[in-house]
Copies of this chain bind each other. A is one copy, B any other.
């Protein structure tokens, strides 16, 4: 038996955490606040059908959609990123700074390929997106946590960790964070960019939710404050177009983008062409603004129902984040309730049968933080089922406190 590479052992623990978090939710009768999928009602199936028909009827375009394409991605789609997704947020860059990826998650993989040697330290938020930690583990990085509060990661703790650990990179999800739903404040965004310059560390700004803000004031990405090319900003089409299309992007200094393209070439040559062209056409023909309003309205209503129901049905002393966008809220339960046990009970009891993600797995330090926390997604559940599910789950929690 040929032995596996060392990195596979290194990543096995987190891979099991991910499996534990996302597995075992196949009961069709379950009310699931677990997954991170966008609402099926937000998928523009009919528009994409019409665009596919037109693209594949157009002589050159049909062949282009099926033939090999450029490593960096379809030029039209890179222009869409520059013009419609980055410029309106205050990030001005050129097509040469943008690389189209096979989904937002590929950014973490390629940035690691380009920058991370085994043993390098990556600072992550506590809690953080556990699937990114799985990638950092695969590259044998050492993750060190930075504390958060309601305004996102805390710059003072970040600076302490920068001094103590000499990291190569900070990984942050600044907007409607996964899993916490929290957003890094304006002042802290500026502070993060300044600390990156001062300590000469890379910032990987993973920002797949920034385009689905439905309340509060717009905030510029950290990349906006990046005067010294220390920030790589990553985005995704999963929440605003279609996750199954696996389309994401990074924007970075041109030399960095070229290195990421070299890693991309040695990963899967380039991203699938038909989804890229359909997505570019979706934006170029002006379908995005109305679609965007529609999905933001839907998520706002679902969020409102979930937060109202948590306030109503969960026990006194429960805390939750108040996200101005995205798909999640983060709940802290009172009374020493262990959410891993709670999930087991909830899904085993046919009278409850509600799923969520237990909080512990989202803390890379594995120091017992988050045991009383849970990520609750309102993205893919209709309003009446959100109310029903929160009511049932609240009943179970309250019964455990008696």
Contacts and interface: CB of A to CB of B under 8 A. Distances in A.
Interface of A: 1-8, 11, 15, 18, 35, 37-38, 40, 43-46, 48-49, 52-53, 56-57, 62-69, 101-103, 105-106, 109, 112-117, 131, 134-135, 137-138, 168-169, 200-202, 230, 238, 242-246, 259, 262-263, 265-275
A2 to B, nearest CB: 5
B168 A2 contact: yes
Nearest to A229: B1
A201 B2 contact: yes
A272 B272 contact: yes
Contact of A53 (B7, B18, B53, B115): B53
Contacts of A115: 2-5
Contact of A242 (B45, B67, B105, B114): B67
B267 A245 contact: no
Contact of A273 (B117, B137, B230, B244): B244
Given A242-B67, A266-B135, A4 B259 contact: yes
Given A8-B262, A52-B49, A56-B45, A268 B2 contact: no
Given A43-B66, A138-B113, A272 B244 contact: yes
Contacts of A270: 246
Contacts of A201: 2
A109 B268 contact: yes
